[in-house]
Amino acid sequence: MNILKIENLTVKANEKEILKDFNLEIKSGEIHVIMGPNGTGKSTLTKVIMGDKNYKIVKGKITYNGKNINKMEVYERARMGIFLGMQLPLEIEGVSNADFLRTALREKEKENFKLLSFIKEIESLTSKLHMDKEMIHRGINEGFSGGERKKNEILQMNILKPDVVLLDEIDSGLDVDSLKLVGESVMEYFNERKPAILLVTHYQRLLDYIKPDFIHVMYDGHIVLSGDKTLALKIEKEGYDKIVGNIHE
Amino acid sequence: MNKITINLEDIKLESTDGIEVVIGEASKFLNVQSVKIKIFKDTDIFIVSNNVDIKLDFYINVLEGVRSNIYEIKHEGDYKFQYKYYLEKDSYLNIEKINDGNNIKEMTIINLNGENARVDFNLKTVSKNEEKYNFLVYHNALNTSSNILNNGVNIMDGVLEFNVSGFVSNRIKGCNINQKARIINLTENTCVVKPNLFIDEVDTVANHSAHIGTFKDEELFYLMSRGLDKENALKLLIKGFLLKGITNKDDLENIVNKYWG
């Protein structure tokens, strides 16, 4: 059982407080969804967990299986099994997807890395995610559409097999078919490996495919309301203003 | 396969398929050697230099309608090379150059003399000491195109400079000029890019970009978030930066491995 615990976390970027006394605990086999209006710190939360140095932790701690990871490097967190599927995956010219993933997997698996299995898995995943087989030889996200970039994040997740999956608006930029494909792929990965998943989304529609255990509403840097899947439906029906307003009244 | 090998002071020619080559002295007084190449049919030329100890002038003439690739690589040595290219009507020349010398000074003059002549130039260098590249690109005929890409990684005691000037005179219509230069400077030393466009004709498409700096933090974060440490992430970014657009990647991969393990 892996446990990611965030306790009283306050985070600043450019002297502005973004996360304020934030608390959350995620365990293996749980899917947590963070929803909330724009600018409330949802993406910041995922980046801080991953160790982005643009954000400064001024108070509180993030622990993974009891170990404080506040000062851990990004790659150390990744090697421990934390994965961030990004909202806007970068295009990196010249660095091929194959080279990148092979290097990343080699770092993770060391002497257990097997090139043939890697190639076979890539082939199977590109086919499953309806991706162009040639994309693996192109630069990372080079010339990819928004949807292809998101699929590439899911492909990387499947290759690296993390225990904690952070997915930041993985549904943005996806058409209905791709949304279904990505949603089902995430759920399939969840059913196979039972990771802890933290999903950031604006829309209930992704939750038609990914079945969450908890929905949290984030506002002004912390969680103001938690519930089950029905909360997402309520948000979609009533909007954040009403729900957050009710809490503050 | 056409191959010209230059070791120390020795210039050797292997095979001549579609080219005529004359090796001689450009200036006895200045101790400058010369290599004159006439390309008269579609072909590839490889130029490999090792530990060169001479000044050398290249004169390369691409005849009408001919399409050619020149792949050049320099290892070690202190280089003072000058290149003069002459492209005739409807000719095309693709130049891919990989430099791994100690000190390099190059002057490249490209004359697009015939209508529709086109040149693609792609330089990749790892600069460790002093490297200076000057380019003069003359669009002397209608509808000529030049695409000059210079990429360098500056390390150790490197000081790298790219000066690129493109010229289009009045009434030379329909030309296309593209200049791109990017230096990844991994030192505290000063690097310079000077892109110049001297255009006296409105019917011209011209672009230029110049970038000096390191890789973006976001790029490193992305790679590191998949488990690559900073050293490996940087190596991968450098490799991608240098290998992009190069046909013969093996030599360049060896150079990347030489400096970045």
pLDDT tens digits for B93-117? 999 999 999 999 999 999 999 999 9
Phi/psi of residue B192, nearest 5 degrees: -135, 140
Tokens 């996806």, located at residue: A174
pLDDT of residue B219: 94
Contact B226 A156 (CB under 8 A): yes
Residue of B nearest to A75 (CA): B227
Distances (CA, A) of B66 to A125, A168, B36, B39, B114: 44, 53, 17, 7, 12
CA dist B237 → A138, A236, B80, B248 (Å): 14, 42, 30, 18
Averaged pLDDT, A71-86: 96
Q: How far is B177 from chain A (nearest CA, A)?
A: 22
pLDDT beyond 80 at B178: yes
What is the b/e burial string over B177-190, where b = at least 16 CB atoms within 10 angstroms of the residue's CB? bbbbbbbbbbeeee
Angle subtended by helix axes A240-248 and A229-238, to nearest 10: 110
Is residue A203 predicted with pLDDT exceeding 90? no
CA distance A231 to chain B (A): 31
What digits encode the pLDDT tens for the residues A116-143?
A: 999 999 999 999 999 988 888 889 998 8
Ranges A122-136, A150-164, B156-170: which has the least confidence? A122-136
φ and ψ at residue A75, rounded to 5 degrees: -70, -30
| pLDDT tens, residue by residue, A28-59 | 999 999 999 999 999 999 999 999 999 999 99
Does residue B155 register a pLDDT over 90? yes
Q: Which residues in chain B are contacts of A95 at CB distance < 8 A?
A: 223, 236-237, 239-240
CA distance B17 to B39: 9
Scanning A193-212 for CB atoms below 8 A from B yields none
Instruction: Give me the residue spans of the domains in chain A.
Output: 3-248
- CB contacts, 8 Å: B228 with chain A: 75, 103-104, 107
A96 touches chain B (CB under 8 A): yes
Give the pLDDT of residue A249.
58
C-alpha neighbours within 13 Å on the C-beta side of residue A228: 1
Q: Give the span between the Cα atoms of A209 and A167, in whole angstroms.
A: 14
Token pair of B203 as six digits: 């019917």
Q: Could you tell me if A34 and A22 are in contact, meaning their C-beta atoms sit under 8 angstroms apart?
A: no
Q: How far is B238 from chain A (nearest CA, A)?
A: 9
Percentage of the residues of chain A whose pLDDT score is greater than 90: 74
Chain A contact for B225 (CB, 8 A cutoff): yes
Work out the pLDDT band at B122, boundaries 50, 70, 90.
Answer: very high
Write down the ipTM of this complex.
0.94
Cβ distance of B232 and A103 shorter than 8 Å: yes
What is the percent of chain B where pLDDT is above 90? 92
Q: Which CATH superfamily is domain A3-248 in?
A: P-loop containing nucleotide triphosphate hydrolases (3.40.50.300)
Tell me how far CA of residue A46 lies from CA of A33, A199, B8, B118, in angstroms. 12, 9, 57, 49
The answer to whether B116 and B88 are in contact (CB under 8 A) is no
Task: Answer yes or no: are the C-beta atoms of B223 and B214 closer than 8 Å.
Answer: no
A94 and B227 within 8 Å at the Cβ level: the answer is no
Are the beta carbons of B240 and A93 separated by less than 8 Å?
A: yes
Q: Say what the pLDDT of residue A93 is.
A: 84
Percent of chain A with pLDDT over 70: 98
Closest B-chain CA to A89: B222
User: A232-238 — which CB contacts under 8 Å span 24+ positions?
Assistant: A232/A33, A232/A35, A232/A204, A232/A207, A233/A204, A235/A35, A235/A204, A236/A203, A236/A204
